[in-house]
């Protein structure tokens, strides 16, 4: 499978480690993986202007780094959202990366998706998980799995191994 991983963090720390562990496992299983660190990209929020659905014919009026990830939304067989939790939700960068897909409606080829979340505390995932599940149900994409890491689990050998094994099992 061609797998696109979107990492919402701007840092090379906890979410990055989850995304890289996923890459290692998936590549070991023979998948083609591209990780996009959307947290470091300049991606504006959707303006809701409807340019994409009228004159733009599927293209967004905003010319920014979303153009770097749009091909992945069109071509990937699997999408992985990896995000830090900010105030009980996926962070702003990830939200922008998710919501700008409005220009094409939903990922075009993806049959599977997964969610990787990193946080300081446990018990902070309800909103992110509900959004992911509802979005995947709407898009007709199978929820292949959700892995969370909080506190000392972040970057721990056992958690990264769990992510690797999950990615290998796809």
Ligand X SMILES: Cc1cc2nc3c(=O)[nH]c(=O)nc-3n(C[C@H](O)[C@H](O)[C@H](O)COP(=O)(O)O)c2cc1C
Q: Total binding residues for ligand X by CB under 6 A?
A: 17
15 binds ligand X (CB under 6 A): yes
31, HSE (Cβ side, Cα atoms, 13 Å): 24
127 binds ligand X (CB under 6 A): no
Give the interface segment with ligand X, choosing from 47-55, 67-75, 118-126, 132-140 (CB under 6 A). 118-126
Cβ distance to ligand X smaller for residue 13 or 64: 13
Q: How far is the CB of 128 from ligand X (least distance, A)?
A: 10
- In whole angstroms, what is the distance from residue 125 CA to residue 127 CA? 6
Cβ distance to ligand X smaller for residue 104 or 146: 146
Q: Hey, is 45 helix, strand or coil? A: coil
Name residues whose C-beta falls within 8 Å of residue 105's C-beta, 6 or more positions apart in sequence.
Answer: none
**β-pairing, 142-150 with 112-119?**
parallel
**β-pairing, 89-90 with 78-86?**
antiparallel
User: Which residues sit opposite 7 in a β-bridge?
Assistant: 82
Q: How far is the CB of 43 from ligand X (least distance, A)?
A: 17
Residue ranges in 71-90 that form contacts with ligand X under rule CB under 6 A: 84-88
Give the interface segment with ligand X, choosing from 8-16, 41-49, 63-71, 136-144 (CB under 6 A). 8-16
Sign of CA dihedral 74, 76, 77, 81: negative
Cβ distance to ligand X smaller for residue 62 or 91: 91
Cβ distance to ligand X smaller for residue 8 or 107: 8
- In whole angstroms, what is the distance from residue 136 CA to residue 113 CA? 8
Cβ distance to ligand X smaller for residue 62 or 118: 118
In contact, 129 and 146? CB cutoff 8 Å:
yes
Write down the residue that tokens 């902070």 correspond to.
124
9 binds ligand X (CB under 6 A): yes
107 binds ligand X (CB under 6 A): no
Residues lying near ligand X in the complex (CB under 6 A)? 9, 11, 13-16, 84-88, 118-121, 124, 154
């Amino acid at each position: 499978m061609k797998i696109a991983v979107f990492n919402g963090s701007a840092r090379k720390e906890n979410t990055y480690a989850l995304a890289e562990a996923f890459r290692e496992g998936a590549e070991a299983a023979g998948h083609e993986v591209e990780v996009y660190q959307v947290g470091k990209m300049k991606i504006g929020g959707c303006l809701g202007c409807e340019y994409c659905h009228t004159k733009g014919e599927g293209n967004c009026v905003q010319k920014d780094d979303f153009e770097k990830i749009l091909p992945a939304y069109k071509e990937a067989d699997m999408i992985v959202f990896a995000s830090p939790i900010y105030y009980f939700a996926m962070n702003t960068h990830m939200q922008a990366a998710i919501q700008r897909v409005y220009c094409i409606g939903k990922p075009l080829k993806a049959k599977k998706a997964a969610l990787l979340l990193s946080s300081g505390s446990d018990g902070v995932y309800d909103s992110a998980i509900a959004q992911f599940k509802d979005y995947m149900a709407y898009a007709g994409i199978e929820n292949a799995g959700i892995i969370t890491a909080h506190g000392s689990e972040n970057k721990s050998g056992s958690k990264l191994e769990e992510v690797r094994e999950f990615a290998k099992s796809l």
